[in-house]
Amino acid sequence: MKIVVAGTGYVGLVTGVCLSNIGHYVTCVDNNVEKIENLKQGILPIFEEGLSELIEKNKTRLIFTTDYTTAYKNPDVIFIGVGTPENQDGTANLTYVYQVIEQIATSLEKDCTIVIKSTVPIGTNDKIEQYFKEHSKYKINVVSNPEFLSQGSAVKDTLYASRIIVGTNNQTATEIMEQLYEPLTKEPYNVPYLKMDRRSAEMVKYASNNFLALKISFINEIANLCEKIDADIEQVSKGMGYDKRIGNQFLKAGIGYGGSCFPKDTKALYNIGKENNIELEIVKACISVNNNQRMLLIEKLKKIYNNNIKGLNIAVLGLTFKANTDDIRESAAIENIVTLLQEEVTIKAYDPIYNKDLTKILESKLTNKELVKKFSFYNNIDNAIKNTDAVLIFTDWYDIKKYTVEKYALLMNNPIVIDGRNCYSANQFKNKNIKYFSIGRN
Options 117, 252, 348, 374; binder of ligand UDX; rule CB under 6 A: 252
Q: How many CB atoms lie within 10 A of CB 306?
A: 7
* The binder of ligand UDX chosen from 30, 48, 147, 326 (CB under 6 A): 147
**Cα–Cα distance measured from residue 144 to residue 386, given in angstroms and rounded to the nearest whole number:** 51
One symbol per residue from 302 to 331: x for binding ligand UDX (CB under 6 A), - otherwise; what is it?
Answer: -------------------xx---------
Task: Give the gyration radius of the chain's Cα atoms.
Answer: 24
Does 259 bind ligand UDX (CB under 6 A)? Our answer is yes
SS3 341: helix
Applying CB under 6 A, does 149 fall inside the site for ligand UDX? yes
Determine which residue in the list 124, 151, 313, 346 makes contact with ligand UDX, applying CB under 6 A: 151
Asked whether position 148 contacts ligand UDX by CB under 6 A, the answer is yes
Task: For the CB of residue 105, give the shortest distance to ligand UDX in the complex, in Å.
Answer: 28
Whose Cβ is closer to ligand UDX: residue 147's or residue 234's?
A: 147
Q: Is 150 in the site for ligand UDX (CB under 6 A)?
A: yes
Catalytic residue, from 28, 112, 226, 261: name it.
261
Please indicate whether residue 261 is annotated as part of the active site.
yes
Query: Would you mind telling me the total number of residues written for the chain in this entry?
Result: 442
Q: Does 261 bind ligand UDX (CB under 6 A)?
A: yes
Judged by CB under 6 A, the residue of 79, 181, 262, 436 near ligand UDX is: 262
DSSP 195-235: EE-HHHHHHHHHHHHHHHHHHHHHHHHHHHHHHHHT--HHH
Binding segment toward ligand UDX, per CB under 6 A, in 42-50, 91-99, 149-157, 172-180: 149-157
SS3 291: helix
# of chain residues touching ligand UDX (CB under 6 A)? 19
Q: Which stretch binds ligand UDX (CB under 6 A): 108-116, 244-252, 304-312, 399-407?
A: 244-252
Among 75, 258, 318, 415, binds ligand UDX (CB under 6 A): 258
Containing 281, the helix (H) or strand (E) segment is: helix 281-293
Does residue 117 touch ligand UDX according to CB under 6 A? no
What DSSP line would sit under 350-383, residue for residue? E-SS--S--HHHHHHH-SSGGGGGGEEEESSHHH
- Piece in contact with ligand UDX (CB under 6 A), picked from 109-117, 146-154, 294-302, 364-372: 146-154
Q: Which is nearer to ligand UDX, 22 or 323 (CB)?
A: 323
Mark out the alpha helices in 22-146 (DSSP H runs). 33-40, 51-57, 68-71, 95-107, 124-135
Based on the shown chain and the rule CB under 6 A, indicate whether residue 354 belongs to the binding site for ligand UDX.
no
Q: Of 62, 74, 66, 65, whose CA–CA distance to 107 is shortest?
A: 74
Helix (H) or strand (E) holding 164: strand 164-167
Region binding ligand UDX by CB under 6 A among candidate stretches 94-102, 163-171, 248-256, 402-410: 248-256
Which of positions 195-214 make contact with ligand UDX (CB under 6 A)? Answer: 209, 212
The rounded distance, in Å, linking the Cα atoms of 381 and 384 is 5
Spatial CB neighbours of 74, under 8 Å, sequence gap ≥ 6: 2, 108, 109, 110
d(CA 76, CA 207): 30
CB-CB contact of 238 with 271 (8 Å): no
For ligand UDX, the binding residues (CB under 6 A) are 147-151, 209, 212, 216, 250-252, 254, 257-259, 261-262, 321-322
- Kindly list the catalytic residues: 261
